[in-house]
Every structure is written in structure tokens, then in C-alpha cells.
Amino acid sequence: MTRFYVATFRESIKQANRKRKAEMIYWSLFDPTSWEIGAEFGMPETAIRKNIIDRLKDRKFGKFSKKFKKMSRSERDKYIDKFFYTGNAINNILSTNLNEIGLTTRPQSPTGGFDIRVMKRGSCVGCIGIKRFVSSLNLIDDISGHYEKIFSCDNNAETCKHLVLCFVPLFGTESPKRMHKLLTAYTPFLFNMETKKHDGETKIHFIPVDENGNSVNGDVISETENIIKKFFIALEA
Amino acid sequence: MGKMVSREDKLLYVINELSKSQNFDGRLKLMKSMFFLEHLNLENDKLTPEHLFSDSQFIIYKFGPFSFDVMNDMIKLSSNNLIQEFCISGYNIVPMMTKKGESRIESIKKSLSDDELKRIEKIREMFDDFSGKELEEKSLEYLGITHEDKEDLMGEPVEDLIEEL
């Protein structure tokens, strides 16, 4: 079922407006597994699931909403477990959007180490890692694991540019700007860790997102686009 | 004896039993213990797709078998002040019984069947020495999958995997 629904989801993303896509990114940031290692979501998981379902059923989300409404309850749950909670949804939303701004991208498996590959003339020139952090508990391990995977399974890893985007969902009235300042305090530790692994160009960015899909400088999509464009500027030239 | 016991009450009872051990190191161990309680056939030491304990649904996630039912029940227990969670180190959040929670244990025990009580005791003994992380490894071993397989199977119901064993 998944392949069919992923294709339709990608079609709908193209039709959805920017605000809806930004909100959808927020609701795709929850990784329930992090609860097992101590993260708190700030709201019940059932509320997160309901919010995703409500948005997918909404007509404004394009033709996928019709297909989604026809699914049984267990099919919807399975879809959310497999597609949203595993990180596939955010990879697809971002990848579709990057294609629209002229970057050729290919979303990978959410756990494959490099979630979006940036392509040029058929070969991979950059890797964008998408990380979702409900809390900072597993931050160091997760980013370290990301690099381990890249360098153990990709022959081109040394020549690629690496960008790791760390998305953080905010709760209630938390401010994206304040959270961004707090999180960037981690950067020196992460920088030390990454330079041990890679001599080439590598960067880590924190992107806090509120419930309306807003980040530090405007909506999360613009924020992400700007970071990516800046980092891959050499590719466009 | 053998009255219908809610899923939350069963979980509360299991937390009470696990917290008697010094080796109870948090949510990860609780989640994997609940998985074995649900799907491990003690007679042949093999997993079964049948639900043997609380009817919680498990799927494969980043740390092996995971259940939203268990997670949401835990959150309810905590918000009803039946348990309180303590952070003992970076990753380990350990649920502990509150006085309110402890006061319910006797009545839950009376309502659980002898088989259920034996099952809880047996599973607790079997995995008492294991940390949460070790129990994660053990659960993958029983499921016959590696960490790499697990990544491809994320979101799959465990029953489907067990049937293929």
C-alpha cells in the first residue's frame, strides 16, 4: 500500500499551499521512539495522530484527502506509523519543495543515514540529513550515528557536501528564536565530533518549528530553502 | 479471581513488579518486557502472533518492538498520579509507584488470573538481569531480525513478522 500512497502524497504536496505544507512539516516531526529513551512530547500521542489525520482529510490538501478518507481506521493508523512517524513524510515534503526551487533531489529511506540526496548530472553531490528532535536527549548519539552511517555505506561520502538539518517541534507559546539560541549552544560539541569524521564541507543547522509552521525567520519552508540554497550555492552556479 | 482487568491496571501491576528489581532502568526495559508478556510463548520459548496478556499492539520502531498502547497507558498512569517518573541518567526515565498507585496493587492482584500472575513473574525473572538496551537486543533476536532489517521494517506490526518466523 505504501508505495501507492507515497506517490499520491507527493502529488498532493505539490497542490497544497505553503502554509499547509509548513503545518504538515510540524506534524511530521514527532518520532514516537524517542519516548522510550525519555523524551516528552508536550501533548498526548493521540492528539498528534488526530492532528495529522485532520490535516490529511482536509480538502485543501489536494486529491490525497479523498483517498485518505476512504481508508479504514487501521489503514490510517498504519499509514501514520509507517509514513509520518518514521520521517518519510518530512523527507518527501522537503524533497518535493526543493525540486520546485531547482535542486534535483532524491529522498532516501528515513533511516538510511542521508535522507535527501542532492543530484547533479546523475551523480550525488550532496547529502541532506533530516533529524527530528523532540528533546535533546539523543542529540549527540543521533548525529554521531548519522555520520557513522554515511561513512560506512557511501563511497562518495568524502566528496559530498553534508548538511544536517535538525528540526525541533515547539509546544505552546515557545519562541522559535529563543529555542534556536538555546540549541545552537550545542554546535561547538557537534562541530568537534563531525570534524573527526570528515574533512570536507559539513554543517549542522537547528530549525525550531511552531504549530503554525513558523521558524526563526518566517515559515519553516522558507527557512529551510534559504539554508539549503546558501549551503549548496556552488551547485547552482 | 480472573475479573476483567483494564490494560492500564495490568501495566501498573507490571511496573510495580519490575520496580522491585535494582535492574529496572526505565521505559525501554518496560516496553520490551510488555512485548514479551504479550507475545512470548513460555512453553516453547518462541514468539506467537497471539496476544497473551493485555492486547497491546506492537510495531517495529527504532529500538525494536514498540507499542503506542503501552506508551499512552503510561502517560495516563502518570497524569492520574499513579506513577511518577524519575530521570536517573541522561536516557533513563524510570517509572516509580506513587502511594496512590501502590494502594491499587492489591485489588489489581486479586483481579488478575493465576496464569497472568505466573506469566508476569516468569517474564520478570527471565529478564531480570537485562538492561533495557540488552532487552532490545534480545527482542530482535527472538524476532529473527538484525538492526539493519529493523530499519527496513519500521512501522510493521510484529504479528506479521512473527507469522513469518
Contact criterion met (CB below 8 Å) for A58 and B81: no
Backbone angles phi, psi at A29, to 5 degrees: -95, 0
H or E stretch including B11? helix B7-18
With bands split at pLDDT 50, 70 and 90, how would you rate the model's confidence at A196? low
Q: Which whole-number Å values give the CA distances from B122 to A141, B33, B96, B118, B128, in the listed order?
A: 34, 11, 21, 6, 10
Residue ranges of chain A whose CB lies within 8 Å of a chain B CB? 31-33, 35-38, 44-46, 78, 81-83, 85-86, 109-112, 137-138
Q: Are residues B66 and A82, on separate chains, in Cβ contact within 8 Å? A: no
Whether A177 and A63 share a structural domain: no
Residue A143's CATH number: 3.40.50
The reply to whether residue B92 touches residue A110, judged by beta carbons under 8 angstroms, is no
Residues A75 and A97 in one domain: no
Question: Tens digit of pLDDT for each residue in A2-29?
Answer: 566 777 788 778 888 888 899 999 999 9
Are A108 and A217 part of one and the same domain?
yes
The answer to whether A159 and A127 are in contact (CB under 8 A) is no
Across the interface, whether the CB atoms of B154 and A111 are under 8 A apart is answered: yes
Q: Which three cell numbers stand for residue B158?
A: 510484529
**Domain final residue pick, A66, A84, A102:** A84
Residues A110 and A221 in one domain: yes
A219 and A187 in one domain? yes
Q: How far is A149 from chain B (nearest CA, A)?
A: 11
Count of positions (residues) in chain B: 165
Q: How many domains does chain A have?
A: 2
Pick the residue from chain A with its C-alpha nearest to B70. Answer: A36
Question: By residue range, what is the domain housing residue A12?
Answer: 2-84
Residue A155: predicted pLDDT: 60
Residues of A in contact with B154 (CB under 8 A): 82, 86, 110-111
* Exposed/middle/buried for residue B7 (C-beta within 10 Å: 0-12, 13-18, 19+): middle
B140 contacts B146 by C-beta, under 8 angstroms: yes
**Cell representation of residue A54:** 485532520
| Residues A70 and A182 reside in one and the same domain | no
For B150-160, letters b (16+ CB in 10 Å) and e give bbebbbbbbbe
Asked if residue A128 and residue A22 are part of one domain, the reply reads no
pLDDT-derived band of residue B114, with 50, 70 and 90 as boundaries? very high
- Chain A contact probe: residue of B34, B60, B151, B159 with most A CBs at under 10 A: B151
**Taking the mean position of all CA atoms in its chain, how far away is CA A226?**
15
Considering the domain architecture, whether residues A41 and A70 belong to the same structural domain is answered as yes
Q: Which amino acid is at B145?
A: I
Q: For A111, which of B91, B92, B151 is closest by C-beta distance? A: B151
| A114 and A80 together in one domain | no
The model's pLDDT over B4-53, given as tens digits with 9 standing for 90+, comes to 899 999 999 999 999 999 899 999 999 999 999 999 999 999 999 999 99
- Per-residue pLDDT averaged across B133-152, rounded? 92
**Taking phi first (over 0 means left), then psi (-120 to 50 degrees means alpha), and beta for anything else, what does residue B52 get?**
alpha
A21 and A122 inside one domain: no
Do A98 and A74 share a structural domain?
no
User: A161-169 and A123-132 as β-strands: parallel, antiparallel, unpaired?
Assistant: parallel
In terms of domains, do A182 and A103 share one?
A: yes
